[in-house]
């Protein structure tokens, strides 16, 4: 039996699950990983697994009771209960992505769970960039199982408690107003009646719904800034980028149950909208680049040559875009494929963008305001006004062209620079990666009494190449 130290004297507000485990390891730096795990398992062998899981599920989605990290959380709770100290659960937002931290925070044994938000680029405490690698050892921040092995004084666990206390590591955390603001913005957003549009005509290969953005989306701060001046001031104080947005309000006239009831509004014409968007894309490309992308490309060029120049890049993008939005498929060994699908296979991208369609319905989870009897998450569908149908469809068409252009441009760049496609995701803008193609959540829809609000980022809601910077040049 050995004495274990929970590292409670290093506990700080808003810390992550990762940080709670790291300070536990720092507090027991003289014990190896095997010894720590064995002792924790021995201590909690009497607790029924069901009881342990009930507590640990609030910390990690799938806790492993044979792992050291979740057992260390049980130890801290037990110590707090015995010493009559308030127990504060570490937090995490539960999204898997590249781990980032502030170097100054790491040196002081701190990591905030809010650093998981991809749009938060700077540490609110030290005003330095949140980065994916430790600046001292030039390695990715260690995972939970790697913390004990690294000897780095910035990201490892071989630190002395006395030095951490003397470094004034708690001083900057006395002002937690920035963290409070971010938490409040997330709480306010999740409490709103956010909407989702859907289509009654969608088939298998169609994008059949349009959900409101989530807290991880890069446009979340910009859209929240439209909803209140206090949000805008708060995000600006954190140096968060706020792209311009476009807001439209519309009246909701009729509530329709989820049954197959015809919607009140008529459907906008897809063909007319596609022709209009096609003309505007060509005009905008000629205005910015002096190139009409709808003109034919030399069909004898190989794959690399078709995107090697700016003219060929725009024309290839246009041709792939046209085959997607018009659902023009070709047959390849019995499988239906879009034109240009070979550009996606060569980079191991499994799915191409789906074909957008008219979103003629919109629903909200309205258990707060309307007190619907029965299931609190019962859906109510409204008819989407034709003006909003048209605007969302135009935005979908332009977003597909925009994302295809960024993808093919990045593909051309990595092929010329690296000779392979392994590094392509490093160069594609965050809102245009293949992971975002068929997760149409760039818009925000909200219900307020009988009025609806739709907010779309300007670079998607307005067809223009002004903000587009490409690696490929003439």
Lowest mean pLDDT among 9-13, 64-68, 181-185, 396-400: 64-68
163 close to 11: Cβ distance less than 8 angstroms:
no
Mean pLDDT within 154-176: 65
Residue 282 has pLDDT above 90, yes or no: yes
**116 lies in some domain:** yes
- Give the pLDDT band (50/70/90) at residue 474: low
> Residue 233's CB: how many other CB atoms inside 10 A?
11
What's the domain count of the chain? 2
Furthest C-alpha separation in the chain: 78
Instruction: Please report the DSSP string for 178-233 in residue order.
Output: HHHHHHHHHHHHHTS-BEEEE-SS--TTEE-EEEPP-TTSTTHHHHHHHH-HHHHH
- CA-to-CA distance for 228 and 391, rounded, in angstroms? 24
Instruction: Please report the DSSP string for 86-138 in residue order.
Output: -----B---------B-HHHHHTT--BGGGG-TT--B-TTT--B-BSB-TTT-
Q: Which of 170-179, 254-263, 352-361, 393-402 has the highest mean pLDDT?
A: 393-402
Its sign, for the CA torsion 247, 282, 302, 472, is negative
Lowest mean pLDDT among 76-80, 335-339, 388-392, 459-463: 335-339
Are 117 and 232 in a shared domain? no
**2 lies in some domain:** no
Query: Residue 44: helix, strand or coil by DSSP?
Result: coil
- CA-to-CA distance for 387 and 437, rounded, in angstroms? 24
Domain boundary among 175, 200, 221: 175
Residue 3 has pLDDT above 60, yes or no: yes
Q: What is the pLDDT of residue 286?
A: 94
Are 328 and 239 in a shared domain? yes
- CA-to-CA distance for 243 and 444, rounded, in angstroms? 14
Are 361 and 272 in a shared domain? yes
Lowest mean pLDDT among 12-26, 141-155, 376-390: 376-390
- CA-to-CA distance for 93 and 71, rounded, in angstroms? 20
Query: Residue 11: helix, strand or coil by DSSP?
Result: coil
Mean pLDDT within 397-424: 86
Rg, Å, the chain Cα set: 26
Are 282 and 152 in a shared domain? no
Are 166 and 286 in a shared domain? no
Are 281 and 427 in a shared domain? yes
Q: What is the pLDDT of residue 261?
A: 45
Q: What is the pLDDT of residue 465?
A: 93
Strand order in the sheet with 361-365: 209-211, 195-198, 361-365, 379-383, 255-257
Are 94 and 224 in a shared domain? no
Q: β-strands 209-211, 361-365: how paired?
A: unpaired
Domain that holds residue 323: 209-461
List, in sequence order, every residue forming a beta bridge with 211; answer none if it has no partner.
Answer: 196
**183 lies in some domain:** no
**473 lies in some domain:** no
Residue 250 has pLDDT above 80, yes or no: yes
Are 213 and 116 in a shared domain? no
Calculated CA dihedral for residues 219, 224, 229, 234, nearest 10 degrees: -70
Lowest mean pLDDT among 59-63, 81-85, 278-282: 59-63
- Give the pLDDT band (50/70/90) at residue 94: low
Are 22 and 78 in a shared domain? yes
The number of C-alpha atoms within 13 Å of 178 and in the hemisphere containing its C-beta is: 20
- CA-to-CA distance for 228 and 232, rounded, in angstroms? 7
- CA-to-CA distance for 393 and 276, rounded, in angstroms? 11
Are 145 and 240 in a shared domain? no
Residue of 155, 142, 226, 166 whose CA lies nearest to 446:
226
Instruction: Please report how the helices 310-325 and 386-417 are oriented relative to each other, as an axis angle in degrees rounded to 10.
Output: 140
Mean pLDDT within 392-399: 92
Extract the tokens encoding 341. Answer: 């699908």
Q: What pLDDT digit, counting tens, does each position of 187-218 carry?
A: 998 888 788 888 877 666 677 788 888 888 88
Q: What is the pLDDT of residue 245?
A: 92
Extract the tokens encoding 474. Answer: 């003439």
Q: What is the pLDDT of residue 298?
A: 66
> Residue 127's CB: how many other CB atoms inside 10 A?
11
Residue 56 has pLDDT above 60, yes or no: no
pTM: 0.81
- CA-to-CA distance for 28 and 20, rounded, in angstroms? 13
Are 337 and 284 in a shared domain? yes
Mean pLDDT within 338-354: 75
**103 lies in some domain:** yes
**204 lies in some domain:** no
Are 224 and 133 in a shared domain? no
Q: What is the pLDDT of residue 359?
A: 85
């Amino acid at each position: 039996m050995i004495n274990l130290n929970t590292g409670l004297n290093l506990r700080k507000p808003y810390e992550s699950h990762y940080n709670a485990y790291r300070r536990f390891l720092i507090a027991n730096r003289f014990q190896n990983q095997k010894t720590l795990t064995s002792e924790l398992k021995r201590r909690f062998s009497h607790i029924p697994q069901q009881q342990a899981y009930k507590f640990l599920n609030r910390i990690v989605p799938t806790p492993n009771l044979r792992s050291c990290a979740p057992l260390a959380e049980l130890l801290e709770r037990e110590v707090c209960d015995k010493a009559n100290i308030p127990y504060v659960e570490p937090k995490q937002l539960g999204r898997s992505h590249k781990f980032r931290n502030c170097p100054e925070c790491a040196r002081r044994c701190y990591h905030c769970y809010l650093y998981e938000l991809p749009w938060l680029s700077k540490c609110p405490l030290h005003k330095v960039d949140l980065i994916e690698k430790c600046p001292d050892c030039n390695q990715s921040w260690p995972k939970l199982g790697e913390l004990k092995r690294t000897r780095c004084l910035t990201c490892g666990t071989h630190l002395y408690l006395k030095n951490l206390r003397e470094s004034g590591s708690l001083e900057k955390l006395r002002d937690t107003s920035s963290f409070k603001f971010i938490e409040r913005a997330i709480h306010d957003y999740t409490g709103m009646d956010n909407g989702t549009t859907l289509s009654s005509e969608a088939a298998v290969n169609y994008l059949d719904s349009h959900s409101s953005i989530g807290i991880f989306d890069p446009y979340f701060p910009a859209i929240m800034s439209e909803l209140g001046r206090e949000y805008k001031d708060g995000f600006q104080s954190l140096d968060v980028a706020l792209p311009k947005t476009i807001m439209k309000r519309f009246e909701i006239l009729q509530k329709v149950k989820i049954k197959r009831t015809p919607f009140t509004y008529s459907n906008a014409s897809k063909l007319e909208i596609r022709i209009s968007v096609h003309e505007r894309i060509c005009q905008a490309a000629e205005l910015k680049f002096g190139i009409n992308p709808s003109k034919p490309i030399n069909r004898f060029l190989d794959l690399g040559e078709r995107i090697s120049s700016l003219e060929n890049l725009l024309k290839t993008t246009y041709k792939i875009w046209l085959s997607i939005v018009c659902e023009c498929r070709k047959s390849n060994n019995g499988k239906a494929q879009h034109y240009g699908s070979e550009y996606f296979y060569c980079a191991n991208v499994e799915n191409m963008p789906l074909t957008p369609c008219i979103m003629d319905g919109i629903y909200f989870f309205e258990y707060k305001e309307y007190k619907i009897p029965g299931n609190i998450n019962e859906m109510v569908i409204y008819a989407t006004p034709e003006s909003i149908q048209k605007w969302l469809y135009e935005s979908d068409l332009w977003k597909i062209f925009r994302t295809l252009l960024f993808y093919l441009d990045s593909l051309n760049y990595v092929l010329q620079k690296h000779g392979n496609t392994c590094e392509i995701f490093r160069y594609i803008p965050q809102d245009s990666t293949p992971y975002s193609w068929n997760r149409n959540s760039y818009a925000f829809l909200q219900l307020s009494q009988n009025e609806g609000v739709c907010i779309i980022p300007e670079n998607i809601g307005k067809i223009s190449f002004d903000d587009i910077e490409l690696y490929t040049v003439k």
